Structures are given as structure tokens and as C-alpha cells.
Amino acid sequence: MANWRHMETKVLEEQYSPSCWSLRMDKDAVIKAHVKELTEGTQRSRGITHTLLNVSYGSEVGEKLDIYLPSKSIGAFPLLVYIHGGYWQELSKEESGFLAAPLVAKGVAVVAVGYDIAPKGHMDLMVSQVRRSVAFISQQYPLSRGLYLCGHSAGAHLAAMVLSTAWSEYGVKPDIKGVFLVSGVYDLLPITRTYVNLPLQMTEEVALRNSPMQHVQEVKSVFKNCRIVVAVAENDSLEFHRQSREYFQSLQELGLNTSFSVVANTDHFDVIERLCQEEYVLTQMILEVILDA
Ligand SMILES: N[C@@H](CC(=O)c1ccccc1NC=O)C(=O)O
């Protein structure tokens, strides 16, 4: 396939419109079903787990997170921080607890992070917010049995940016033991040439500064032993496959502990929705990584 720089805008925009590639439903239906699945799943998780909702990790209204806790826990549990997707302009933490039930049942606490989506938030702010949320959690739970990150789509981009944080500026060094990046974007430059950038208004400079592909060296210097799983939905577009593969390859070339998975029979949306199911291959992979540590 052509290099993205040589694609017509229409073709590039289609590559970066995940809803065009689902084999299950049409464009509008798949997004509607996605929001419904995440919302209902989050309601279910809230009904069956002990929760701490709207915990502030910063002074801004949007700087809040929800914690889903295992029962009978005394603080010595692993924590999985989930960063939602939605192209930095949709969704919120209110639909982001859907994955908690099967993890909490195995003794893993789940944190759903809220951040200021565009147009209120801009890229530098969102990156700073997710970094501060992880710093906050690591200070709040010093006895935890390790921190894990999971991000979907734009949230996988933000999780990858957390990995390349200069932690000295945050006064902590979180014990991040594993990261699950699902159908993410790691080079923001192509995005600047699409409709996705309308509310974001990123310049090329902002896009480069916030592209995980540009910051893999920082990952190496801090997280030599962290397990990094790069996963992409089988039915994601070629550009999404390329982005995941290239990010994985850069990490691998640096000798990091990383693996690459194409999740069979999934599209951009159910690849993450299905984390509410215990038997789903990605849920099992996450549990194996966390419980084997
Ligand atoms: N314009 C995008 C919309 C999109 O990606 C999206 C929309 C609502 C909620 C989540 C989304 N994406 C991934 O999480 C698309 O074509 O799929």
C-alpha cells in the first residue's frame, strides 16, 4: 500500500476512520453499538464491584478517575489503569469501567482515567493529564503489586506516551510492569492531515512532540523489563496495522520485552469491548501477564 504521505485525503481519511472497516455493522451502527456496550458494561461493573468514583488526581474538573476494587483487599493488589479511546474527542471515564468485572474477580484493581477531550483539551494537556493520573495512582497505592496500563485507540497512544515520561518532573517512578496497547496510533503526523484534527488543531510540531514513535529511547531508559503487548484488531485498516507493527518493531529493536498480536475476528471496536468477557483471548492475556508477575 502507498505511503500515507502519497494518499489522497479521501483515502487517508478512510484509513483513519475505524468504523469503515467493521465487518459486523455499518459505520454509524458500529459506533452506536460500541457506546452502548461500554456504557452497559460499566454499569454492570459498578453494580458488582466496590468502587471509588470521581477521585481527583488534579485540580481541574476533568482530572478525575474511577477505581474498581477487589473485595477483601488490603492494598496489596495489582492495579490496571485503563485509558479510553475515542480519537481524543469522544467517550469518558463514565463508559470506561466495562473491563473491570473479570479483572476485579481475580484480585486486580481497575482504574478508569478521565481526561479533557477536545476541544476543551488539547494534545499536550491530555498527555500531561494521563501522566499525572499514573503518578497519582502510584503515590496513592505504594503497596500495590505493580501497575499495569491498558489503552484503546487514542487511549493506547496516551498509554504509550505515559511510557516515555521523564518521571523526575513528576517526583515519582511508577512501578509499571506491563502495558497493553490495543489498536493504537503511535505516529500522529498522518492524523494532522485528516478530519480527526479539526477539534484537535495540532500543528506538525505538536504532533511530533506527542508521537510515541519519536520517544522510544525514553521507554528503554526507564522500563527495561516492562512487558509491552502491542495488539491490533484483525479487521482494523492497513494504516492501523502499519502503525502497531512499526511501533512494536521500534521497541523490539531496542531490546525491550515486547510482543505483537493480531486479535483474530475482531474489529476496532469489539477488540476492546470484549474485555468484559473473562474467556476473551485478550482478557486471558492480560490476566496471565499480571498474575504470572
Ligand atoms: N470517526 C471515527 C469515530 C471513532 O473512532 C469513535 C467514535 C466514538 C467512540 C469511539 C470511537 N473510536 C474509538 O474508540 C470512526 O470513523 O470510527
What is the mean pLDDT of the segment spanning 234-246?
A: 98
SS3 231: strand
Entry pTM: 0.97
54 contact partners, CB below 8 Å, separation of at least 6? 64, 66
Separation of CA 87 and ligand 1 centre (Å): 6
Catalytic residues: 153, 236, 268
Biggest alpha carbon–alpha carbon distance for the chain: 56
131 pocket-lining for ligand 1 (C-beta < 6 Å): no
153 pocket-lining for ligand 1 (C-beta < 6 Å): yes
Q: Tell me the chain's radius of gyration from C-alpha atoms.
A: 18
pLDDT digits (tens, 9 = 90+) for 180-216: 999 999 999 999 999 999 999 999 999 999 999 999 9
Percent of the chain predicted with pLDDT > 70: 99
pLDDT digits (tens, 9 = 90+) for 128-149: 999 999 999 999 998 889 999 9
**Closest residue by CA, ligand 1 atom 10:** 86
Give the pLDDT confidence score for residue 157 in this predicted structure.
Answer: 98
Q: What cell was used for 233?
A: 484488531
Q: Report which of 74, 119, 81 is spatially closest to residue 100, judged by C-alpha positions.
A: 81
Q: Is the pLDDT of residue 96 over 70?
A: yes
Q: Is the pLDDT of residue 117 over 90?
A: yes
Neighbours of 55 (CB within 10 A): 17
The interface pTM score, or ipTM, of the predicted complex is 0.94
Q: What cell was used for 265?
A: 475476528
**Closest residue by CA, ligand 1 atom 11:** 86
Pocket-testing residue among 13, 19, 25, 89, ligand 1, by greatest number of atoms within 8 A of Cβ = 19
